[in-house]
Amino acid sequence: MKTLRVLCVSFVLFVAQNGASSLHADLYPQWWIDQGVISDGQQSPAAPGETGHDPVAWDAWVAGNFTPANAGQAKNLAQKAMFEMEAKQAGSAGTTITSLVNGFSMASEDNYVPINTGQVKNLAKTFYDRFHEVDFTVTLSDGTIIADNTYPWDPATPVEQNYTPVNVGQLKRVFSFSLANWPPGEPAEGDGLPDAWEILHFGSINVANGDPTLGPLTDYDADTLTDYEEFHAGTDPTVADTLLADTGDQTELLIWKLYR
């Protein structure tokens, strides 16, 4: 796959070859429904060979994937992806994605401006970089697994092709990643603490330890609660007084246990 144009062709062929009758069931990730990108139950026309196939409706749907994508569509997908990540775990989208999306002007005439390949890649790269940062397995809706530190496009694509227009199918595919298992659970290095939680609070997965078999349990904020206990208590491991000033997380946890 040398360009996003090829990616779009493979996207459309996947529909035809697999006889997908439901967009959200076969092509789109669940978060597209949960975040209102598409409506629950929204369907594509019956594919060739399926009962009820309408060639006119099918051709119109396929043609729609080749219509030019605009800035508003790209911003909407990025915003909804961030919303889903944050809904799964607050702060898990990371500061780079959050700052980028919060800086969007969603009500702008610029939303109707066509976008090019380079712009879409730069936008999507922010999300894939975050996934790779926390060792999240990236799976697209067509079953493609994106390997660590790679993207759903060829990095060897000539620079001049970054200025070619992007169509709707290309945009949809790069944002068709599943967030069903977001954020990742136990970290790859097996220290007993989720990667996303460590990245959120420490900026690295190599600061804290929650597995006594690997060495002493860490206590980053020195409040006598280990980072492992802070994770399970829901307190901030970098702040000794998460809830009540001058109380200390250890005392706060005891109070919570007594009066819950």
| DSSP annotation string for 199-240 | HHHHSSSSS----GGGSSPP-TT-SSS-HHHHHHHT--TT-S
Do the domain assignments include residue 140? yes
Task: Identify whether residues 64 and 168 lie together within a single domain.
Answer: yes
What is the b/e burial string over 123-147, where b = at least 16 CB atoms within 10 angstroms of the residue's CB?
bbebbbebbbbbbbebbbbbebebe
Query: Residues 89, 56: contact at Cβ < 8 Å?
Result: no
What confidence tens digit (pLDDT) does each residue in 67-106 have?
A: 999 999 999 999 999 999 999 888 889 999 999 999 998 7
Task: Identify whether residues 55 and 142 lie together within a single domain.
Answer: yes
Q: Where among 184, 203, 223 does a domain terminate? A: 184
Task: Identify whether residues 174 and 127 lie together within a single domain.
Answer: yes
What does the pLDDT average to over 182-209? Answer: 75
Instruction: Check whether 233 has a pLDDT greater than 90.
Output: no
Task: Identify whether residues 1 and 30 lie together within a single domain.
Answer: yes
Strand partners, 146: 138
φ, ψ dihedrals at 114, nearest 5°: -60, 150
- CA dihedral (120, 125, 128, 132) in degrees, to 10, reads 170
Q: Where among 152, 184, 216 does a domain terminate? A: 184
pLDDT value at residue 90: 86
Task: Identify whether residues 201 and 238 lie together within a single domain.
Answer: yes
In angstroms, what CA-CA distances link 160 with 21, 116, 117?
37, 11, 10
Q: Where among 184, 206, 235 does a domain terminate? A: 184
Give the structural domain span for 123.
Answer: 1-184
pLDDT value at residue 77: 96
What confidence tens digit (pLDDT) does each residue in 2-60 have?
A: 333 333 333 332 333 333 333 323 468 889 989 998 876 555 677 788 888 888 988 88
